[in-house]
Amino acid sequence: MTELNGTVGPRFEPVRDAVADQLRSGAEVGLSLFVDIDGRPEVDLWGGHSDAARTRPWERDTITNVWSITKSVTSLAALLLVDAGELDLYAPVARYWPEFAANGKEHVEVRHLLSHTSGVSGLDRPARLDDLYDVRAAAARMASQAPWWQPGSASGYHVLSYGHLVGELVHRLTGRSLRDFTHQHLVRPSGADFGIGLRDADLARVADVIPPGIDVDPSALGRDTVAYKTFTGPSFGAGAANTPAWRAAELGAANGHGNARSVAEILAPVAREGAAGHGRLLEPATIGRVFDEQSRGTDLVNGLHLRWGIGYALPDRRTVPWIPDGRIAFWGGWGGSMAVLDLDRHMTISYVMNRMGADILGSQRAAAYITAVYRALGAADR
């Protein structure tokens, strides 16, 4: 029998049931799910198995690659610098990174990097995944490129380039790597069990990701499209996340390692309008910038209809009908993991798993859990 561990508040028993159903059916292999409301852990669940053969249990301290939830942490790092007055969202990137002005990018602004509208959603070919592991060199290549579309005119999801672009700004302003900066200012103060990349000491408790069976196939895309350029700049498969090179790298777009609890511990201050357990992390006005809509429409890379604010997606019922309208910021990781930051309810929902689904954003499992959370809150309000 697959075991589900942890606790839920009385009104959230249906959430436990939803998770148990997915484990029982075999749709879920291993996972963690966490719901924080104003600093109270209303849902803290973990269970299943950490391996595809289902021989090792998913423990309380099991961690895994959370894919693009990493971008949400990277965005928060940038917002810290905005809050401190060191980074102006509407300033040209070249103010802080002069080389970025090359090839017609002198007017690209910081907000364009944070909203996937910069025109630099990957490396010009030829590109290999190994190229991204040298973070400074890859960032320099991105700075030298011409944009692949008119910056600011549309979003083109920065699949793997996001961490290099935002991370270079962090490096230019602080002299620290993105990995070190997030550890010092986000991970350590919150006590979160999270890192960009993975330490050798943590290898024994990592759950390998279980690929969805079908990777992105760029050959089906037109060679002149932004999507083709992005998915071949460089090409990579989900299995890369289980390799030593990926785990050792600093990929601020995609190789964060943690679990639902640690993701929530880092991101919950956004939902609490800046308040953190160790004091105020950000001013409410800075949090409000998240909701400055930067683009709305079909993304040039992933093909989803999206609304992008500063650093986070905003509710869009066409794409994620199970996330309600309101002051909500969110994003997910490839295969289904999700982080939902609900300012109206001061609530953070975080879901992390090892078995990847085939959806681009979210999954049926994520939808079931998040729907159950909101239904539980609705029942309590009546």
Question: Mean pLDDT score of the chain, rounded to an integer?
Answer: 96
Residue 296 has pLDDT above 70, yes or no: yes
pLDDT of 216: 76
Rounded percentage of the chain residues whose pLDDT exceeds 70: 99
Q: CA 139 to CA 154: how far, in whole Å?
A: 22
Residue range 170-222, pLDDT digits in tens: 999 999 999 999 999 999 999 999 999 999 999 999 999 999 977 777 888 88
The mean per-residue pLDDT over the stretch 256-281 comes to 95
Residue 380 has pLDDT above 70, yes or no: no
Q: CA 273 to CA 343: how far, in whole Å?
A: 7
The count of domains in the chain is 1
The mean per-residue pLDDT over the stretch 57-77 comes to 98
Instruction: Report the predicted TM-score, pTM, of the whole model to 2 decimal places.
Output: 0.97
Residue 279 has pLDDT above 90, yes or no: no
Range of the domain at 240: 4-381
Residue range 142-180, pLDDT digits in tens: 999 999 999 999 999 999 999 999 999 999 999 999 999
Residue 26 has pLDDT above 50, yes or no: yes
pLDDT of 382: 34
With bands split at pLDDT 50, 70 and 90, how would you rate the model's confidence at 115? Answer: very high
pLDDT of 381: 45
With bands split at pLDDT 50, 70 and 90, how would you rate the model's confidence at 304? Answer: very high
pLDDT of 152: 98
Residue 1 has pLDDT above 70, yes or no: no
Residue range 94-111, pLDDT digits in tens: 999 999 999 999 999 999
CATH number at residue 341: 3.40.710.10
Q: Is the peptide bond before 234 cis (omega within 30 degrees of 0)?
A: yes
